[in-house]
Amino acid sequence: MAILVTPQTKVLVQGITGAFGARHTQLSLGYGSQIVAGVTPGKGGQTFEGRTPIFDTVAQAVQATGATDSAIFVPPPFAADAILEAVDAEMDLVVCITEGIPVNDMVKVKRAMQGRKTRLIGPNCPGVVTPGEGKDSHGGCRIGIAPGYIHKRGHVGVVSRSGTLTYEAVFQLTSRGVGQSTCVGIGGDPVNGTSHLDVIQLFMADPDTHGIIMIGEIGGSAEEEAAEWIHKHGTKPVAGFIAGATAPPGRRMGHAGAIVSGGKGTASAKIDAFRAAGIGVAATPSEMAETLLKMM
């Protein structure tokens, strides 16, 4: 098993004809992902590289191909509408890669999604990868921009706010011969669709995931909330790393979500919460995989 996506997942790409969307669609097709449709208004009836049909709307693409998941590579001014179009089409999962969506737009999206069936990953995220069983994990499902070739099929789940640290954790595991069940980059924006806790709960319920690496950053309280849940309900080993421990106080750093308030959101507060919950804390990024493997 895995979480969120499998090698059988049918994916459509919103913004498939843009340079960025086209490049990563090529990479996902090369990885073996089932990219069954593209969506670009005004370009319906064309094909992507002579193989993937393009539609004017998400609803048309879903009806024609049975796609259940969407990857969004739409510019920031139009990305919120793209998300809501996928929600209206009742897709199971929407992975929004777009960086720089106005916060007010995402607040409206979150409100509009309440009570709907669609799960949103992102925005401003690297996406989701469930590795396949083939050479270099080909034949899996890659939705987004993560480098598929560093993955290996196995039993460790990875969830992270940072794209780069997601790749680092995956590479460390694969270099040690340890594969991953699913890797989820949830993004660093202050208003996103899926939290650390959401993904941790899915990993805990997944029989194919035997251990978890959780990577957080300064700002917000999502990591503390996940740690509290793990302390009460966790059944599998979890190792964690918090980025930003050396950030100077009083200065905004990195991701838009890096806002510290009310004594929560600091690196020390998150690390203390991890330790109190029995989560193994990696002192540096280079120790993430080793920390988990020692626990396992």
| Residue 199 vs residue 258, higher pLDDT | 199
Average the pLDDT over 74-80 and give the result.
97
Of 24, 138, 151, 255, which residue is the catalytic one?
255
Tell me the three-class secondary structure of the chain, residue by residue: CCCCCCCCCEEEEECCCCHHHHHHHHHHHHHCCEEEEEECCCCCCCEECCCEEEECCHHHHHHHHCCCEEEECCCHHHHHHHHHHHHHCCCCEEEECCCCCCHHHHHHHHHHHCCCCCEEECCCCCEEEECCCCHHHCCCEEEECCCHHHCCEEEEEEEECCHHHHHHHHHHHHHCCCCEEEEEECCCCCCCCCCHHHHHHHHHHCCCCCEEEEEEECCCCHHHHHHHHHHHHCCCCEEEEEECCCCCCCCCCCCCCCCCECCECCHHHHHHHHHHCCCEECCCHHHHHHHHHHHC
Share above pLDDT 70 across residues of the chain, in percent, rounded to a whole number: 94
Residue 134: its pLDDT value, please? 75
* pTM of structure: 0.94
Cα within 13 Å of Cα(176), Cβ side: 18
Confidence of residue 262 (pLDDT cuts 50, 70, 90): low
6-15, 50-59, 143-152, 238-247: least confident range: 238-247
Percentage of residues in the chain having pLDDT higher than 90: 86
Confidence of residue 252 (pLDDT cuts 50, 70, 90): low
Quick one: 62 exposed, middle or buried, by C-beta within 10 A (0-12, 13-18, 19+)?
buried
Q: Judge contact between 250 and 198, C-beta under 8 A.
A: no
The question of whether 155 is a catalytic residue gets the answer no
- All structural domains of the chain, each given as residue ranges with its CATH number in brackets, are 10-121 (3.40.50.720), 152-295 (3.40.50.261)
Q: What is the structure's pLDDT at 75? A: 97
Instruction: Render pLDDT for 103-150 as a digit per residue (tens, 0 to 9).
Output: 999 999 999 999 999 999 999 999 999 999 877 677 899 999 999 999
Q: Kindly tell me if the per-residue pLDDT of 264 is higher than 80.
A: no
